[in-house]
Structure 1
Amino acid sequence: MSIKINHELPLPEVLKAEYPVSDRIREIKQKRDEEIRDIFTGKKDKFIVLVGPCSADNEESVCEYTRRLKKVSDQVADRVLVIPRVYTNKPRTTGDGYKGMLHQPDPEKEPDLLAGIIAIRKMHIRVMEETGLSTADEMLYPENRSYLDDVLSYEAIGARSVENQQHRLTASGMDIPVGMKNPTSGDLSVMLNSVTAAQHPHRFIYRGNDVETSGNELAHTILRGGVDKYGKNIPNYHYEDLARLAEMYEKWNLKNPAVIVDVNHSNSSKQYKEQIRIVSEVLHSRNYNPELKRLVKGVMIESYLVEGRQDIAENLVYGQSITDPCIGWEDTQRLIYDIAEKC
């Protein structure tokens, strides 16, 4: 056995006290949370656009991106609610590669999770201070969300985590929407079982405590495509997939039926430009069928300042992904305007 303790991490309340949020930020988050809740419960019919880098790898480029996003968001605010993807935890299929700012605040340096926890909290707060937009992140490590639970307005549970008991039970204690992705196999029943678990109350061990949750009625599904036993991508954003999910939701008898369509990953086969076409098809399906219009609450898009991706090396291109490829800013801006016209 070889486990070496590098740092004893601070308790969440200690870190929050050291890097607090202002009264203004609390007010921004509260108002945004209320509006997002109203969309998921059907009280408002705005369309949600979760958009941003595959991985938030650099504070300056992420903040520049979100400042640009704020200007576009203001112009479409009557139809679209924009939530910046500020994803600081990056799951890796094989365990190798860049795991996000939580692990490596500087992608060119060695991992440092103590510095990472501080860096990601400061970045989420800075985005809100500069833009007034509260953010989304992925819950890769359930115990770590306590460092960010006062700043996030949306969380996703990834395809490799969605069957994990701790993720499901932790989601049941959250007071913001949590999206459960279908697993890499594409099995929709696994995804809906996770939503069921998250919507119910539970008692379990969390951060060394015996805790009890009340259930999260805003837990919902995210379609991201799947992979068959031969490694071939199988998209699940088509009309028939959405209609099938609507039927399954009715049989499962869950609260606030909702789905976000992730237009990258196995839905696009990571052909990042395909995201533009897929969004258009999802909007067409939604507008064709009133039931799907109620069910499909939004899309998730991977986007950054510069399109494509790059390997980690000296002289990194500012604002280009170092993980999955993303569409660039010009395409992103046009796409959000197009969504506002069609949704």
Structure 2
Amino acid sequence: MHDDVNIASCELLSSPETVRQELPVSAVLRQQIQQWRREVVDIITGRDRRLLVIVGPCSVHNLAGALEYARRLRDLRARVADRYYLVMRAYFEKPRTTLGWKGLIYDPDLNGDYNLEKGIATARQLLLDLAAMGVPAASEVLDPVMSVYLTDLLSWAGIGARTTESPTHRQLASGLPMAVGFKNGTDGGLKVALDALATVSSAHSFIGVMRNGHTGVFRTRGNPYGHLVLRGGSAGPNYDAKGVAQARAMLAAAGLRQRLVVDCSHGNSNKDWQRQAAVFADVLAQVRRGEDEGAIAGMMLESYLKAGQQQVMPGQAVAPDMSVTDACMSWEDTAELLR
């Protein structure tokens, strides 16, 4: 049987270095991003007692809509800076349980053409625009090859519930230059995430793609700023005082830093966007009462310009201001919650 019998086609993609040169980050913005990363690390380690809030759309599908959201977030960020440290969700890759739109990088026109060259450039341009606006960005690192195109512009990185157990993603995270959050498994179990945290802090050697597009051997020092993200699961939510206390105890038993972020969406809201505010309020009350004993470093919210979600249908226009993946809170509800 021919080796490539199941490969329909193969095209050359611009190297990460080429894309970085075409869409460069200035020295000023590079320093700004490094400062944001340090500030996030200060919160994760407890030196800064503000709460990290990673907030924004489930996925970016429209550049103009994302920029409008970022403008509003920038203004709100300044207003609540004494209590919260806001970072915008800029998620470009969506790990699908079965099938569905895979994200802006893979299908930027939402039409099945999979114009990756355009998707990469669009994603990088948005991250540059966010940095220039003064808005730090967070994103999930899903494809190890794709990370080389974008991670120089991120202030926080996430490893999703489906990939927390993946050795490839653990190795990749061990070399990333920012704090990395690992979500608990989709079943709600914490063990895979705790194993990931122990792994990511160690040095690794692995094969990856270099900026020039060639494969190379990467040797990492280990990332000391990995942390747990509680996102609930099929067994139920884990954001409440009992869930946080259990996580804190398991982190302590594993000899890991007892700091975590609570995802107010996904399993913790039972995928009901209207429940996110209640989850956020419960977590905030735990912080105020001191029941978390300093374990809670922050929260995540899925929020966009308009509430809810829309289905992407062939031949139908896609609205720029409503999520095409998970349903999100509206901007008005988000701003009221954080104020």
TM (normalized to structure 2)? Answer: 0.94
State the 1:293 CA deviation: 4.7
Counterpart residue number, 2:80 = 76
Counterpart residue number, 1:340 = none
Counterpart residue number, 1:135 = 137
Counterpart residue number, 1:329 = 331
Separation of aligned partners in 2, 1:5 and 1:154 = 35
Counterpart residue number, 1:209 = 216
Q: How many residues align?
A: 328
Residue 194 (structure 2) pairs with residue 225 (structure 1): no
Counterpart residue number, 1:258 = 259
Work out which of the residue numbers 13, 16, 24 in structure 1 matches 2:20.
Answer: 16
Tell me which amino acid in the other structure corresponds to 1:101: L
State the 1:43 CA deviation: 1.4
Tell me which amino acid in the other structure corresponds to 2:153: V
Per-residue CA distance 1:185-230 (angstroms, 9 max, x = gap): 11111110011111111112122212211111110111111114xx
Deviates more, 1:170-179 or 1:8-17: 8-17
Counterpart residue number, 1:187 = 189
Counterpart residue number, 2:92 = 88
Identity, % of aligned positions: 36
Tell me which amino acid in the other structure corresponds to 1:276: A
Residue 203 (structure 2) pairs with residue 196 (structure 1): no
Separation of aligned partners in 2, 1:154 and 1:106 = 26
Separation of aligned partners in 1, 2:82 and 2:287 = 18
8 Å CA contact 1:306–1:327 kept in 2: the answer is yes
Counterpart residue number, 1:99 = 102
Q: List structure 1 runs of 4+ shifted beyond 4 angstroms.
A: none
State the 1:41 CA deviation: 1.7
C-alpha RMSD of the superposition: 1.3
Counterpart residue number, 1:64 = 68
Counterpart residue number, 1:46 = 50
Which blocks of at least 5 consecutive residues in structure 2 are unaligned?
210-214
Tell me which amino acid in the other structure corresponds to 1:49: V
* Cα distance change, pair 14–317 in 1 and its aligned pair in 2 (3 A): closer
Residue 37 (structure 2) pairs with residue 36 (structure 1): no
Counterpart residue number, 1:269 = 270
Counterpart residue number, 2:297 = 297
Counterpart residue number, 2:286 = 285
Separation of aligned partners in 1, 2:9 and 2:85 = 42
Counterpart residue number, 2:150 = 148
8 Å CA contact 1:157–1:167 kept in 2: the answer is yes
Per-residue CA distance 1:83-116 (angstroms, 9 max, x = gap): 000100111111x111110111111352111221
Which blocks of at least 5 consecutive residues in structure 1 are unaligned?
229-233, 338-343
Separation of aligned partners in 2, 1:257 and 1:205 = 32
